[in-house]
Chain A
Amino acid sequence: MNAAQAGARAARAPDRSLESGGKGFFASGLGRSLAKNWAACFLLVMVVVFSLTGKNFLSIVNFQNVIHLQTLPLLLAAAETFVIITGGIDLSIGFVAGLASVVAAKLMQVFVATGIPVGWVILLGTAGSLALSLLPGLLNGVVITRFKVPPFIATLGMWGIANGVALKLCQGFPVAGLPDALPRIGNGYLLYVLPGRFVSFFDKPASFPDARIRELWRLVPYSFPFVLAVLGTLAFVLRYGRFGRHTYAIGGSMDAAIRAGIDVDRHLVGIYVLSAALAGLAGVFNVFQTGIGNYTTFSSMYELFAIAAVVIGGASLSGGKGRIFGSVVGVLVLAFMENGLAISGVEPFYRYIAVGVLLVIAVVIDKLFPDLF
């Protein structure tokens, strides 16, 4: 089916471009890149508008907080980007993240009880949980490639399984009693600056009184370099690496990829394992951020928002298209929209409505200008 669609798109492309050639503006360089990056443009316009309507929206502290809190969605969107480019879908990532979070917390609880040093507790808990989070991905991949179950069904099954296992492990309550160091690492900053007085790295100066903490500028949360490194690597692999080329090839045309000698099954298993691993990373990071193990609730719908972000970022559910940068823009569009609306005093529930409308706009733009991307 994918091959047929891709073929149809290719066949349509020439006359479409002639058509838009007649339209002028969108065929020219500037108009074309504007339309292609409409989500980024929208993000900019939105930031300007909210800066005018919302007090305190335009501030480094607010922007830092928004992006810091989007670490989990950013990682999930990156995971979903790979899967969607192959023409698949992974509905399980939200609950795999919750599972990883609970497993990490439980492991750390156990290690704390054995009395080993805190550093080891955190390291072992993190490593154990990350290793375990490969399993759902492996199962997804095997079920999809060996048993030819549609990705939607296979990962919906894993959606239930991961959720059930996570809930069973934590009995429906967040897992507490973890080392205090966790939230300090997860919410730490690289720079602590008191304007005109001092600059300090990694921690505030010991002599600085807690009462005056509000005067201190805390800049660059640890999550920034972390996310930047992960997403940068993924973007590089997707764009320049062989793994990335094969990913696009499979999404563009499965048949062509097979004929080109790509081991499609193995690659797809790799994709779903990668997706689950990133979800696991997101879940473990969540433990660092909150200091407890959180299972994922039904209404959080992480996976659906991740898919929304990827689609807003220019990917197509029929595969073959998508960029990490686009997905990041998609996540930020959703995040700044929520934050800006909240700061401007709009009821938070409009967020859900706005996401829905935006998503449809994204797809309609994609339909109207199929040759743009």
Chain B
Amino acid sequence: MKQEKLKSMISEYINESDLTTDHSDAVMEKLSTRTKNRSSKTWYRRPLLVAALLLVFSVGAYAASDIIIKLQNGEDTMAVTITENESEWLKAHEDQRAIDQIIPSSDYRDKLCLVLDTADPTIYSIWNPFVSYDDYGEFIKTVDLTNCYPEVLESFILQQIDIAYGYLMPTQEELNQLASEHQGQQYFYYQLERQDPSQIVFEYKQENKENSYFEIVMILNEKSAVTLSTEDSGDYEVVELENAEALLYDKKVSSISYLPDNSRTLSNYTNDYRLLWSEGDRSIVIRPANKTLRAYAFPDDTAENMILLAKELNRYMNE
């Protein structure tokens, strides 16, 4: 279907409806009569909520009142405290979390924060002052929770902490090896627990030839997949099977079946599996459970290289 056709169809539907009444008087009337709503809440409460949210998700196992978490970063020790009152306040306002935009204040520039987006509870950003900043200065990663299991989110947050504080960095030996092979690039980690590494399927997919848009789709299990885009190294996302199917509907993917409910999650899997995606060069580093860390490089985005890479990844996972 051509883009023009698609635009025509959607535009036709959208333009079918039109506003027939001027609402400016009604809005102005509302503005003049209403009382100030909760959006005027003092901003300084919000960083507390940010910190509280971080703790709720990242230390859920210790979800009790008055939690103190200390994270080590070199010589600095930072502590974030959530008091009982804040915890209760957070719980009480759970349904309204979407209402406030949370912006880390300068007071929290030395904290790792989970940031809730304006009125949108499906989008969280990790604010991590210790990892390279993007154009906005602080927000380094976002997670779309509509496609995310709780465990994945938790894993994601912990991963950010790990990156920040180096808990999951490769061993020095591994780093030396990587450095020799890939000019010492920094590596992003993505860690997932899964049942059977041999069942991982790597798919190579080219979304848009004209724009050199490439993607490797990794089917993790019956309900999840991870996609890696070559367009922006370091970018990955976890998608639910429905979307994974959408990714792959034009390819033959065998033995994917829906589970009866959502009870089975990634956290049920026990074997450790890591995928590292390089930031600087184009390479994938893989370390299945009980196997040696191995790096694969693809110096350019040609289809041939990507297909070879997918094949090689599959071969190694099934060795």
A binds B: no
